[in-house]
Structure 1
Amino acid sequence: MTAAHLTRPAGPAAATAGPVTGGGAPPRLPFVVYVLAAGTFLMLTTEFVVAGLLPEIAGDLQVSVARAGLLITVFAAGMIVGAPTMALLTRRVPRRVTLMTALAVFAVGHVVVALGDSFPLLLAARFGTAWATGAFWSVASVAATRAAGPGASARALGLVGAGGMLANVVGVPLGAFAGQLSGWRGPFWALAALALAAVPLIARHVPRAGDDQQSVSLRSELGAMRSGRLWLVLAACAATTGGVLSAYSYVSPLLTDRAGIAPGWVPLVLVGFGVGSLIGTIVGGRLGDVRPHATTIAVAASTTAVLLAICVLSAHPVPTVLLVVLLGLIGLSANPVLSALAVRFAGVAPTLGVAMSVSAYNLGTAVGSGVAGRALDSGLGATGPAVVGTILAALTLIPTIAIALLQRRSPSGGRP
């Protein structure tokens, strides 16, 4: 099965989309892709904004900061379970309806958090919000590839992913700042309002034409999950994200305790990482439309080299800062390519394929950060998480190289 069968344009703007060639400019992405990117900006902002509000939440609810951190953990767990589950539950629901409903549930969940005084209630609301986020992310990814067409699917996913990366650059810092001014509940009210404002945008710009889901049986969709290439992609998703975020999650002690950087400079370094991630995701999507397998292998190898350099040079502040920014630029740049490959290799179940990739990203983050936390408390000290990240990034080479070899042997010659 070729990519054309899986990324059929959904509207007139996408009908002219073709493969990117060396002799002309890439086709313009339809406006709906930018709308979907704005939605993922909201989704990723809510996932990470809690980290900047933990002391305020803990103090207000009279729990420890470590216990308040469960609001992050339960969201990740909800994404792991919720993304594929919602993909199956909404398989016969029109995509635009699923996107609008997910935004509405997202808004309700944030209102519950903003009003709630019970910590268990907040955990439940965060878990439910994560399910809505998983549904939106999965369906938005497929809607973006269908709108962009086969020649720009990875670029479209790069832009949708860039909306999430922009959350780290803009959304999370603004949320933390707003929380200081208005209390920790203020950002949740703002996110609820923005989600409701996005509903009519989805209704207007996600086309009705081709909106109905194909009548593919549940058995056929689950059968598509037997694809060995898909599971190799999922392994790469988990390993690459786990490698980068295991180091990034504990970059603050690396910068302060090991490199000797003043704590006041750490937020600026994190912004540099976020800006690098934003640029890298967009560029990676563009490269992935032309050379998908070369891109995934090169990113895995480069990320391994950068993390290894961090381990070696972490006692020197200037190189460490530059390497952290470089990690942001390179480390996650293959994610849109991997998501596009998940759509392709899932066959008749593209939404479920993307949902599985979302679960894999979150699983890699959860496992990688957990192991990195133990490494931080080991004899390796502040460099422990970077060591864990280096190993996981190196492991990414196994599935990416295997995918490239399998595709080279296929009749299509490895074209996506």
Structure 2
Amino acid sequence: MPFAVYLLGLAVFAQGTSEFMLSGLIPGIARDLQVSIPAAGLLTSAFAVGMVVGAPLMAVLSLRWSRRFALLAFLVTFLIVHVVGALTTSYGVLLGTRVIAALANAGFLAVAMATAVALAPADAKGRATSVLLGGVTIACVAGVPGGALLGEVWGWRSAFWAVAVALVPAIVAVLRSVPGGAPDPAGPRALGELRALRRPRLLVLLVLAGLVNGGTFCTFTYLTPLLTGDTGIGAAWMPLMLALFGLGSFAGVTVSGRVADRRPIRLLVICGPALAAGWALFALTAGAPVPAIVLVFVQGTLSFAVGSTLISQVLYAATGAPTLAGGFATAALNVGATLGPWLGGVSIGAGLGLRSPLWLSALLVAAALVTAAVAHAAGRPSPANPVEKEHPAEAQ
């Protein structure tokens, strides 16, 4: 795997830290800017909405630029808005920086996926995807707890400064390692890529990725209240539990990177039903600490193994639309990451208990399995079948 792909993963780590770290900084931001906790919480929602809307829009915009210029433009924008966020005393300005940061992050991910796939060998799209998504999982394991620690010791602004500093080597690395070159004319490329995105199997893959990610974040968002409430694990252990989920996530993308290029069907057929069953088992055994701790790691592994494999199959299926496919894949993941927590919150608010997000996660993954089965029965290839036809090595 080219070293430049790992450098892109470093940039994804820094941006992933920014996306998730606010969960531990909300109280400090609310106190410092003299706003309510719900108002401070809107900073997270603004970022999520910006990611969903921005992914396809920024992908289209980036078609006018070379990939190196697009990556640099998005990274520099991301850095600048974090500097502004660290300096501002205005809640409105901070909210605006989160929206702009989300747009830049969405654009970067879309172009980074296309760049990683272009730099990697033709039969290694799964490995390239796992490197990028590995940056997100490392952010969960190290970056988010680190941001929370900085917020506790030096205030929430220090976490924003840390993200800005972490982006500097990524910018230098992209400048030195990602090939330049002029882009093709924007109009024909955009129209051609949009036409390629109309393939039914590609649309099915995007739906599956959104459903699986929705199930992941439906539970992950409420993991702390579940474990401290129904399971009875002390609040002091929560950083370790979240890190355990992150370690499982990293294991999942690592497994996907090794298997998804050659045995995607086998991985999805085995891990997909296991993921749905695991969420149901978690709901049934959440009152006992030992199975809950085991399942935190197992479900993190299965969730990201399946999710990463689906995204790699999106990139395989969209060879005629590499940049827009990355943008729509990013949007699909973030639709799931927005819809899942909302459904979990609705279920808890309706009095269904802290385990209800676990049941919803199982239902969302089950819905993905049913969707895949119906699409296959209707004559549309299952997610990995097209790849097997295009890459005979996978069937060996």
What is residue 361 of structure 1 aligned with on the other side?
333
| 1:120 to 2:92 alignment | yes
Report deviation, 1:380: 2.2
Task: Give the Cα–Cα distance (whole angstroms) in 2 for the partners of residues 71 and 112 of structure 1.
Answer: 15
Which of 322, 334, 340 is 2:312 aligned to? 340
Alpha-carbon displacement from aligned partner over 1:6-49 (angstroms, at most 9, x marks no partner): xxxxxxxxxxxxxxxxxxxxxxx110111011010011100001
| 1:168 to 2:144 alignment | no
Contact 1:134 1:358 in 2 (8 A): yes
Alpha-carbon displacement from aligned partner over 1:336-369 (angstroms, at most 9, x marks no partner): 3222222233342111011101101110111111
Task: Give the Cα–Cα distance (whole angstroms) in 2 for the partners of residues 294 and 64 of structure 1.
Answer: 49
What is residue 61 of structure 1 aligned with on the other side?
33
Task: Give the Cα–Cα distance (whole angstroms) in 2 for the partners of residues 410 and 201 of structure 1.
Answer: 35
What is residue 271 of structure 1 aligned with on the other side?
243
What is residue 380 of structure 2 aligned with on the other side?
406
How do 1:47-196 residues align onto structure 2 when only pairs under 5 Å count?
Answer: 47-196=19-168
Match for 2:43: what amino acid? L
Task: Give the Cα–Cα distance (whole angstroms) in 2 for the partners of residues 342 and 100 of structure 1.
Answer: 25
Bigger mean CA offset, 101-110 vs 214-223:
214-223
Contact 2:279 2:359 in 1 (8 A): yes
- Stretches of structure 2 that go unaligned for 5 or more consecutive residues are none
Change (3 A) 1:217 1:145: closer
Choose between structure 1 and 2: higher helix proportion: 2
Contact 2:347 2:357 in 1 (8 A): yes
Task: Give the Cα–Cα distance (whole angstroms) in 1 for the partners of residues 199 and 346 of structure 2.
Answer: 34
Contact 1:296 1:334 in 2 (8 A): yes
The secondary structure found in structure 2 opposite 1:290 is coil
| 1:308 to 2:284 alignment | no
Task: Give the Cα–Cα distance (whole angstroms) in 2 for the partners of residues 214 and 339 of structure 1.
Answer: 25
Report deviation, 1:150: 1.7
Bigger mean CA offset, 313-322 vs 327-336:
327-336
Give the TM-score, by structure 1 length.
Answer: 0.89
| 1:31 to 2:7 alignment | no
Report deviation, 1:414: 6.5
Task: Give the Cα–Cα distance (whole angstroms) in 2 for the partners of residues 101 and 357 of structure 1.
Answer: 21
Change (3 A) 1:383 1:164: same
Number of aligned positions between the proteins: 386
Change (3 A) 1:108 1:406: same
Bigger mean CA offset, 119-128 vs 377-386:
377-386
Match for 2:34: what amino acid? Q
Report deviation, 1:400: 3.8
Task: Give the Cα–Cα distance (whole angstroms) in 1 for the partners of residues 201 and 183 of structure 2.
Answer: 24
Change (3 A) 1:412 1:304: closer
Contact 2:200 2:380 in 1 (8 A): no
| 1:395 to 2:348 alignment | no
Task: Give the Cα–Cα distance (whole angstroms) in 2 for the partners of residues 218 and 179 of structure 1.
Answer: 42
Report deviation, 1:135: 0.9
| 1:321 to 2:298 alignment | no
Change (3 A) 1:403 1:155: farther
Contact 2:125 2:316 in 1 (8 A): no
Alpha-carbon displacement from aligned partner over 1:158-199 (angstroms, at most 9, x marks no partner): 011101110001111111111111111011112112213321
Report deviation, 1:308: 0.4
Match for 1:213: what amino acid? P
Task: Give the Cα–Cα distance (whole angstroms) in 2 for the partners of residues 402 and 207 of structure 1.
Answer: 42
Change (3 A) 1:165 1:411: closer
Task: Give the Cα–Cα distance (whole angstroms) in 1 for the partners of residues 241 and 66 of structure 2.
Answer: 42
Change (3 A) 1:374 1:343: same
How do 1:287-302 residues align onto structure 2 when only pairs under 5 Å count?
Answer: 287-302=259-274
Match for 2:318: what amino acid? A
What is residue 17 of structure 1 aligned with on the other side?
none
Which of 173, 183, 198 is 1:213 aligned to? 183
Task: Give the Cα–Cα distance (whole angstroms) in 1 for the partners of residues 387 and 215 of structure 2.
Answer: 33
Report deviation, 1:402: 5.5
Task: Give the Cα–Cα distance (whole angstroms) in 2 for the partners of residues 86 and 160 of structure 1.
Answer: 18
The secondary structure found in structure 2 opposite 1:74 is helix
Task: Give the Cα–Cα distance (whole angstroms) in 1 for the partners of residues 79 and 364 of structure 2.
Answer: 36
- Stretches of structure 1 that go unaligned for 5 or more consecutive residues are 1-28
Give the TM-score, by structure 2 length.
Answer: 0.93
Task: Give the Cα–Cα distance (whole angstroms) in 2 for the partners of residues 213 and 203 of structure 1.
Answer: 16
What is residue 225 of structure 2 aligned with on the other side?
253
Contact 1:162 1:281 in 2 (8 A): yes
Which of 294, 303, 327 is 1:331 aligned to? 303
Task: Give the Cα–Cα distance (whole angstroms) in 2 for the partners of residues 37 and 343 of structure 1.
Answer: 17
Match for 2:209: what amino acid? C
Match for 2:120: what amino acid? A
